[in-house]
Amino acid sequence: MRGRKSGAQPVDGRCRNKPDACDHPVDIGTDAGSAGQALHDAGSAVTTAERTNASQDEISRMSQEGTDSSVARFFGDRLLQWYRREKRDLPWRRSRDPYHIWVSEIMLQQTRVETVIPYFERFMAQFPTVAELAAAPEADVLKAWEGLGYYSRARNLQAAARQVVERHGGVVPSDRADVFALKGVGPYTAGAILSIAFNQPEPAVDGNVMRVLSRFFNLDLDIARPATREVLEQLARSLIPAGAASDFNQALMELGALVCTPRSPGCLTCPVMARCAGRLAGRERELPVKSKAKPPKPVHRLAVLIASGDSALAGRVLVRQRPAEGLLARMWELPHVEAPNKSIWSDEVAASSWLIGALAAEGLKVNPIRPIAEAEHVFTHLHWFVKLWSAVPADNRQSGGLPSNYRWIDAREFEQLAWPNVFRKLLGDYFGR
């Protein structure tokens, strides 16, 4: 459907010139310019309204007044014709099963389509029904999700599956309030389930859709702001053709993923380019407006790879499980600590001393030997820089006396447990040698 990771959307290099330099006919109805201008004016007014704390009723009115019915018909007709001809064959599109659509939408958050496909197919093979997902051990669900990241999505999905079993007999509900009540289901996911699975006229506005609508209607709204999403949801709802919500919402997403891409929009192949107000104004590369997010905070961490020298534990490595709550909850990792600053992280003498003290504070006595690898992992708000040290236990109690969340594992157990990507790579390199 779409790629949502930064830079993940397919990039189409066509139509690199401004619209007035493109060699193609322009077929504009007499109302197209006025509709585009009306929405542009509405967008400007909403920006002002946001600054002056205008009420939601006023914002809604501005959006509704800017929608021209003939433009809506043009947009819907052309988009549906294009989608039914060009849509990709994706596994979650082969049925209207709401469970399939729900899982795919959760997986596609922050993740590229091509990455999701094999995960989706394996997940469905392992948990073919809502009931089987609800009943599965959480460790199995996390393992199936391993590599997709944002593991709270998997936990919320399973928690919501249990809600569906308990409240709806294992059948994904079609009632709007019931869908919104599911854990981890927000406006976009709810709209996708209701529209795609049940053909209900609900908007499903993701980044691709916001980009398409911002360009088509030449809107100056900052799509990073929640108020803008509300306006675009109202606008998208007004554009849904009667009886075609499922295909229309998927078509909007598909257009943003394949044609109306972030950096190189393929204007010449766009089915609605003739009335695209942003293209006609020469702004297709400027839009959408999006304020820059705060960069993730850099965090420097020191990890240890402790291979057992005990004959009874030969070939095993010491690992630990994260706490039941918080970041990467209950996943497995190499023992590691946060360095107080980059200087200590970079200095071998200072880093070794810090590792000894910080790990001893949680009951693990080690002797670091030397740095052997570095890796990075980017979360939404954090950027981990991990330096891996080889180390040995500082005493002979290798099979006992460890903190309760620690254990020794071999290569077989490594494959059975769920790991954050950074530690899966580091340990995979070790066991793969």
Catalytic residues: 105
Give CA–CA dist 312/277, Å, rounded.
72
Name the token pair of 128.
Answer: 């073919």
Give CA–CA dist 210/216, Å, rounded.
10
> Count of CB atoms within 10 A of residue 370's CB?
9
Give CA–CA dist 180/171, Å, rounded.
15
| Among 29, 430, 82, 428, residue whose Cα is nearest residue 255 | 82
CA 329 to chain centre: 18
State the Cα angle at 15 between 14 and 21, rounded to 5°.
155
Kindly list the distances between the CA atom of residue 197 and the CA atoms of 33, 149, 164, 201, in Å, as whole numbers in the listed order: 35, 26, 16, 11
Residue 245: strand, helix, or coil: helix
171-193: string of b/e by CB count within 10 Å (b at 16+)? ebbeeeebbbebebbeebbbbbb
Give CA–CA dist 249/137, Å, rounded.
34
Give CA–CA dist 187/209, Å, rounded.
13
Given a contact cutoff of 8 angstroms between Cβ atoms, the answer to whether 159 and 135 are in contact is no
> Count of CB atoms within 10 A of residue 261's CB?
20
Phi (first) and psi of residue 414, to 5 degrees = -55, -40
State the Cα angle at 296 between 206 and 345, rounded to 5°.
150
Q: Which residues contact 300 (CB under 8 A, 6 or more apart)?
A: 338, 339, 341, 342, 344, 345, 385, 387
